[in-house]
Structure 1
Amino acid sequence: MYRARDHVDNEEWLAAIDRAGDSLELGSEARSNATDLFLSHVPDADRSKPATAAASIYAGALIAGEERSQTAVAESMGVTRLSVQKRWKTILEDAGFRPPSW
């Protein structure tokens, strides 16, 4: 879980998640999931935050049933597809979900 202060400290990244949600045409549930997942997994290193945000968007969209491709999510956040691929399952599992087996 995260603290209310985490929301303030990561305002820039939450705005980036929202912009990516716009470009991916995600609904409010997917965006809310992505925000919660990101705030629950904020890395210490600033260089890891874009990839974590992208992976949170991908996982949040899966939870909401609004699947988007890893490539589309990565492009919306300006990271590589591999960055999303390496992180999304861990984020999903840490949140108590079982990743799809496809």
Structure 2
Amino acid sequence: MYRASDEVEHAEWLAELEAAADRLDLDDAVRSRAADLFLSTVPADDRSKRAAIAASLYVATLVGGDRRAQGEVADAVGVSRLSVQQRWKDLLEETGLDAPDW
């Protein structure tokens, strides 16, 4: 869970998340879920925030039924596919979400 002040504090990062969501042409529900995931688990280190954005977007697409490739999400955010691959399962677990059945 996060506070409303977290949105203000991390506005710059949320703008990057929105820009990546625009590049991926994601719907509002997926964008909202990704922002919630990011704000609920935002890392302290600025270097990790871009990867956290990518993982949040990827998980939001999985949970929202708008599945995207890890590489596609990584490219939209400007991180490596490995960054997404290393973080998305932990994010699911940390937030109590279930992975979709494939």
Q: TM-score range by the shorter chain?
A: over 0.9
By how many angstroms is 1:101 displaced?
Answer: 6.1
Q: Distance in 2 between matches of 1:93 and 1:60?
A: 13
Map Cα deviations across residues 25-83 of structure 1 (whole Å, 9 max, x no partner). Answer: 10001000000000001001000000001000000111111111100100111000000
Q: Distance in 2 between matches of 1:51 and 1:72?
A: 13
Aligned residues: percent identity? 53
Which secondary structure state, in structure 2, belongs to the residue aligned with residue 47 of structure 1?
helix
Q: Distance in 1 between matches of 2:18 and 2:75?
A: 14
**Match in the other structure for 1:55:** 55
By how many angstroms is 1:93 displaced?
Answer: 1.7
By how many angstroms is 1:99 displaced?
Answer: 2.1
Q: Distance in 1 between matches of 2:83 and 2:32?
A: 21
TM-score using structure 1 length:
0.95
Amino acid at match of 1:52: A
By how many angstroms is 1:22 displaced?
Answer: 0.7
Structure 2 segments unaligned to the other structure (5+ residues):
none
**Match in the other structure for 1:39:** 39
TM-score using structure 2 length:
0.95
Tell me the number of residue pairs that the alignment of Structure 1 and Structure 2 aligns: 102
Amino acid at match of 2:44: D
**Match in the other structure for 1:2:** 2
Amino acid at match of 2:50: P
Matches within 5 A, 1:9-88: 9-88=9-88
